[in-house]
A and B are shown apart, each in its own frame.
Chain A
Amino acid sequence: MPVESIFPRLEPVLPRVQKPIQYVGGELNSQIKDWDEAEVRWALMYPDAYEVGLPNQGVQILYEILNEREGVLAERTYSVWPDLEAIMREQRIPQFTVDAHRPVAAFDVLGVSFSTELGYTNLLTALDLAGIPLEAADRGEDHPIVLAGGHAAFNPEPIADFLDAAVLGDGEEIALAITEVIREWKAEGRPGGRDELLMRLARSGGVYVPKFFDVTYLPDGRIQRVAPNRPGVPWRVDKHTVMDLDQWPYPKKPLVPLAETVHERFSVEIFRGCTRGCRFCQAGMITRPVRERSITTIGDMVDTGLKESGFQEVGLLSLSSADHSEIGDVAKGLADRYEGTNTSLSLPSTRVDAFNITLANEFSRGGRRSGLTFAPEGGSERMRKVINKMVTEDDLIRTVTTAYENGWRQVKLYFMCGLPTEEDEDVLAIADMAKRVIQAGRDATGRRDIRCTVSIGGFVPKPHTPFQWAAQCDHETVDRRLRALRDALRRDKEYGRSIGLRYHDGQPSIVEGLLSRGDRRVGRIIRAVWEDGGRFDGWSEHFSYERWTACADKALAGEPVDLDWYTVRERDEVEVLPWDHLDAGLDREWLWQDWQDAVDETEVEDCRWTPCYDCGVCPTMGTEIQIGPTGRKLLPLSVV
Chain B
Amino acid sequence: MPEGPAPAPVIQRLRVRYAKRGRLRFTSHRDISRAVERAVRRAGIPVAFSAGFTPHPKISYTGAAATGVASEAEYLEIGLTETRDPARVRADLDAALPDGLDIVDVVAAGQAKTSALADRLEASEWRVRLDGVRETDAAGAVAAFLDAPTIEVERLTKKGRRRFDVRAAVSALEVETLAPEPDRRAAEAADVPCAILRMVVRHTTPAVRPDDILTGLRQVADPAPPSPPLVTRLAQGPLDAVTGELADPLELDRGTRPGRETVPPSGDDAVTARGPAPTQSDPAAGADVAGARS
Contact = CB atoms under 8 A, between A and B. Distances in A.
A24 B24 contact: yes
Contacts of A21: 26-28, 31, 67
Interface stretch (A304-312, A417-425, A568-576): A304-312
A26 B24 contact: yes
Most chain A CB inside 10 Å of its own CB: which residue of B5, B40, B228, B292: B292
B4 A367 contact: yes
Contact of B291 (A11, A311, A365): A11
B258 to A, nearest CB: 27
Which size class do A's interface residues fall under? 35 or more
A483 interface: no
B68 A366 contact: no
Contact of A310 (B5, B24, B41, B100): B41
A5 B292 contact: yes
A7 B291 CA distance: 6
Nearest to A367: B4
A256 B26 contact: no
Nearest to A640: B44
B281 interface: no
A265 B228 CA distance: 35
B205 interface: no
A264 B34 contact: yes
Nearest to B41: A310
Given A15-B68, A20-B68, A264-B34, A367 B55 contact: yes
Contact of B1 (A14, A256, A309, A407): A407
Contacts of A409: 1
A477 to B, nearest CB: 41
B254 to A, nearest CB: 29
A480 interface: no
A135 interface: no
A342 B52 CA distance: 12
B98 A27 contact: yes
Interface in A13-40: 14-16, 19-21, 24-28, 32
Contact of B24 (A258, A264, A365, A407): A258
A192 B283 CA distance: 48
A396 B202 CA distance: 61
B26 A14 contact: yes
A32 B99 CA distance: 14
A298 B100 CA distance: 33
A12 B96 contact: no
B38 interface: yes
B88 interface: no
A258 B31 contact: yes
A215 interface: no
B271 to A, nearest CB: 25
Nearest to B99: A26
Contact of A20 (B53, B67, B98, B291): B67
Contact of A8 (B28, B53, B292): B292
Most chain B CB inside 10 Å of its own CB: which residue of A5, A7, A28, A367: A367
Interface string B21-46: 00110111011001101111110100
A369 B42 contact: no
B31 A26 contact: no
A634 B50 CA distance: 29
Given A26-B98, A368-B55, A100 B294 contact: yes
A311 B49 contact: no
Interface in B1-29: 1-2, 4-5, 23-24, 26-28
A197 interface: no
B227 interface: yes
B54 interface: yes
The 4 nearest A-B residue pairs measured at CB: A310-B38, A5-B292, A310-B42, A15-B228
Given A26-B100, A309-B38, A409-B1, 18 more contacts: A8-B292, A15-B227, A21-B26, A21-B28, A25-B23, A28-B38, A32-B294, A259-B31, A260-B30, A264-B34, A310-B40, A310-B41, A310-B96, A311-B38, A342-B57, A365-B4, A367-B53, A369-B53
